[in-house]
Structure 1
Amino acid sequence: MDSVSKVAKSSDASTTNRHRSRRPHMKSRKGCSECRRRKVKPRCSACVRNEAPCLYPDAARPTSGAPGVFDFALAHNRGPSTSRLTSPVDPVTPINSYRASSASTSKGSSRVDEAMTSFCMDDMVLFHQWLSHTSRTFIQSPNIDHCLQVTFPNIGFHHPFVMHGMLSLAALNLALTSPGSRKQHGLDAARHHNAALRGFREGIDHMVTTEDYSNSDALFACSILNMIYIFGMLGGLHSSLDGEPGLRQRTARVLGGEWIPMVRGIGAIIQPVAYEQIRLGPLAQLVSLDHWEQLDLDSDLVVNDEHLRVVPEAWATLPTPDIDVYNDAWSIFQRCYLNSMHFAGNSAVGGGNESLPLGGEKEWTFHRQWAGSIAFLHGTSEEYLLRVHQRQPPALVIFSYFGALVHDLDDYWFLQGWGRDIVEVVNESLGSYWRPWTKWPRQVVGLSPPDS
């Protein structure tokens, strides 16, 4: 009898132990985004402790819970396409109007099927801010507003890094206009900007290594958004969050140790093949410079303008290689100046002059304002910008004139304060000897009275 009870107890104990080893356990349903993107299954701690394999349903994504804000838009655009948009201005269409260019995107680039980017309700608020307000603050022209309000989002639905770029600017715009929530919006702007840069770099690498230019529109759009972000972040928001830095820090910031190379990054996109793709695509009007070569550098406006005529004297006695570098940079500035004068009217740069008749307004809509002046940074040579970085006086003199043009764009929220900062830093760096050559920029930004 005792032996039978011992066997029964032993059987009960083994059954109990067996049940303990198979007790229910919780599985992780919230693997990190990177693991989900790489399709790596995380292991929950209970399974690791019990040496049991984690079991997952066949579906790649959970069926419960609310979808991301843009999940519908991303899924809606996954279908194949048969044509490519060629009109410079898209008609107002549903979000699948950009389907053509993204359908041909090859392996390794930013495809919707591979991106699996999640956006939340806070991002939807930023997207609404972009559509309703921010996109209309850059150019203030109906044609370009349509491009930024419709075409850019359509591209962003297929290339999430473009969507992140738009959201970063929407957050940055809110940070500069909403003091009560400035810090949080600034953090949101930086987060989306970092995500945009990651996708942008991957797209550039793909284009260079495979010579596949099908994502040129997306890269070009992102480069424009990045350029605007750099001005906004290192300008108004930088000062409001960190306070005004010391002279050394402000000089290093303004004279382009970081921001000029990032602004010039757009040139990496405008390669011959990529340019042809963009010129024939939905962003064609953003690369048009039809009247740039028509600007007459020998016009009376330039030749008889006293404050322009004396500037080349600042480098007239230098060696020939230096003279050539500065003459080229000065020629680019004069074109930007004439472009600004065409639309300046009663502005500080225009001085009350009539605008110059250089062609139809439709062709000038994008470069009639800030884009034409910022073209100075894209047109000048690396040799000249190196001399700016080295604080060479003739290079800084020319740069102060560029600052005067930028000051005339102070109404744009992302350029506010930049022009005056540039002229002030140059004036502090050069000293009194060079002030005869920087007289006009100082007058434009208000550092000197008009008759000084």
Structure 2
Amino acid sequence: MPSRRSHTKSHHGCRQCKARRVKRQITCSFLDTGSEGFPTPPGNATAYDTSTPKSFDYQLSDAEKTRHGPLPTPKTSSPLTTVQDGPGPEKRFDILDLELIQHYSTRTYMTMSSRLASHAVWRDTIFAEALRHDYLLHALMATAALHKATLQLKSSDAYAEYSRIALAHQNVALAGFIPEVSKPNQENGIAIFSVSLLLTIWAFASKRLPEGLNNVKIDFGRGESSPGVTLPLHSPTGDFIEVIMILRGIYAVIRETNTWLQGDIEELLRYPRSEELPPHSQEVEDAFSTLRAAVDDPQLISLWEGDDRQATKTLFLEHIEQLRDVSRCRSVVEWDGHIFSWLIMAPPSFIHCLKASNPFALVLFAHWAAMFRCMDHHWWANGWGYNLVIDVSSMLDPLLARYMDWPRRQVGLVYQGNGGFDGRRLP
């Protein structure tokens, strides 16, 4: 598919294009684009395009209005619009929809996972499924729009427009997805599973985009109760707990759709074998030894007070060992996404400790966050690990400072020597 830039150059004053517009009585957006074209491809980190998408006046088709009902959303539309050409109606794609589909099919699909074997699944298997389920197609276009937004200068009009169109596609996708998620079957199992994975991307990426995109909050109704949340509101850690709950909801969806996840899609469910992951370095082993010692530190006895003292200590010791095992994946790029499994598989009791700001749970979480930096090469995850370690450091009592030494060194924080941390990186 030719780029908009090349089409623009070849259509200034193009009689053929003008004749086609007269015949169909439609506007050719190429003639309105200008000579600057659209975004600079990834790989040129110093060059940005600040032009604004021209074709985002996005209206729902009659068919979609009937299917989804009225939506309290910004102006949105189906990827198909009806235009007249001669005696009967003709269907065509909106040019911006085509742009997003092209971007997803050539670039975005490769950013979903580091595993080369999964790229074809995201590009072919899931896209083919999207042709059968409109809400999945909108979800793919929303993800492509989010991706394109991150390639723009944040001060540019194009950044704001791609962010806005991402929200529009999210709204349409969720309107179709939410009724389906409660009734998984052979027909919709793969589509539900795919959108559930994309929700993770949205949840992570939306924290880095305008506030309007922070609406991806789905109650999967799996009965995970929680105590009062004492984490600071709108803190990185508090926001991340919301992402954790989305991840855990997705795991519940996977369990319910597992029967129908067969064939190529199964590649996304693969976990590494133990022999595929290298052992930790001595430095990392020492960090885990320090964590184990913290459980019996007499200065931290107040963390274990109450009737469940021994049960809580046992919970943390078990979770330390699970993190030690899972975190070996950060040494192998194709398995870096496996780092999520530590939180996805965690028992509700540990998640509750995090929500309640249990200091030792936060220390353990900070170790995971430092290891999560292995995902920084993904546009939707970049920066999370660094911000989480800073945030947890600011919440902890100085008594726990020495147990934060390893994670803060991993992200380059400077320790002030007085129990305080700041956000500067080491030179």
Number of corresponding residues: 316
Q: Counterparts of 1:204-353 in structure 2 under 5 Å?
A: 204-207=181-184, 212-234=185-207, 236-238=208-210, 248-251=232-235, 254=238, 256-271=240-255, 274-278=257-261, 280-291=262-273, 305-316=285-296, 317=301, 318=304, 319-341=309-331, 343=332
Look up the equivalent residue of 1:425 and give its one-letter code: D
Deviation at 1:215, TM superposition (A): 2.1
Identity of aligned residues (%): 20
SS in 1 for 2:91: coil
Deviation at 1:288, TM superposition (A): 1.4
Look up the equivalent residue of 1:305 and give its one-letter code: E
Q: 1:192 aligns to what?
A: 169
d(CA) in 2 for partners of 1:301, 1:323: 26
Query: Cα distance 1:240–1:437, how it changes in 2: closer, same or farther (>3 A)?
Result: farther
d(CA) in 2 for partners of 1:402, 1:31: 46
Structure 1 runs not aligned, ≥5 long: 1-29, 41-59, 70-119, 345-364
Higher strand share: 2
Deviation at 1:401, TM superposition (A): 0.8
Look up the equivalent residue of 1:446 and give its one-letter code: G
Deviation at 1:143, TM superposition (A): 2.3
Look up the equivalent residue of 1:398 and give its one-letter code: L
Query: Cα distance 1:66–1:213, how it changes in 2: closer, same or farther (>3 A)?
Result: closer
d(CA) in 2 for partners of 1:410, 1:387: 26
d(CA) in 2 for partners of 1:400, 1:330: 12
Deviation string for 1:357-399 (max 9, x for gaps)? xxxxxxxx4xx12x11122221112111111111110110011
RMSD after superposition: 3.4
SS in 2 for 1:227: helix
Query: Cα distance 1:154–1:447, how it changes in 2: closer, same or farther (>3 A)?
Result: same
- Asked whether the 8 Å contact 1:302–1:309 carries over to 2, the reply is no
Deviation at 1:294, TM superposition (A): 8.0
Query: Is residue 164 of structure 2 the alignment partner of residue 203 of structure 1?
Result: no
Q: Counterparts of 1:52-451 in structure 2 under 5 Å?
A: 64-69=88-93, 120-179=94-153, 180=156, 181-207=158-184, 212-234=185-207, 236-238=208-210, 248-251=232-235, 254=238, 256-271=240-255, 274-278=257-261, 280-291=262-273, 305-316=285-296, 317=301, 318=304, 319-341=309-331, 343=332, 365=334, 368-369=335-336, 371-448=337-414
Normalising by structure 1, we get a TM-score of 0.62
SS in 2 for 1:396: helix
Query: Cα distance 1:37–1:195, how it changes in 2: closer, same or farther (>3 A)?
Result: closer
Deviation at 1:197, TM superposition (A): 2.2
Deviation string for 1:39-65 (max 9, x for gaps)? 99xxxxxxxxxxxxxxxxxxx998745
SS in 2 for 1:391: coil
Structure 2 runs not aligned, ≥5 long: 1-59, 71-81, 215-230, 416-424
SS in 2 for 1:282: helix
- Asked whether the 8 Å contact 2:236–2:391 carries over to 1, the reply is no
Deviation string for 1:197-227 (max 9, x for gaps)? 23222222122xxxx3442211111111111
- Asked whether the 8 Å contact 1:333–1:376 carries over to 2, the reply is yes
- Asked whether the 8 Å contact 1:255–1:389 carries over to 2, the reply is no
Normalising by structure 2, we get a TM-score of 0.66
Look up the equivalent residue of 1:270 and give its one-letter code: I
Deviation string for 1:269-315 (max 9, x for gaps)? 222x632421x22211111125159879xx77579821111112333
Query: Cα distance 1:193–1:36, how it changes in 2: closer, same or farther (>3 A)?
Result: closer
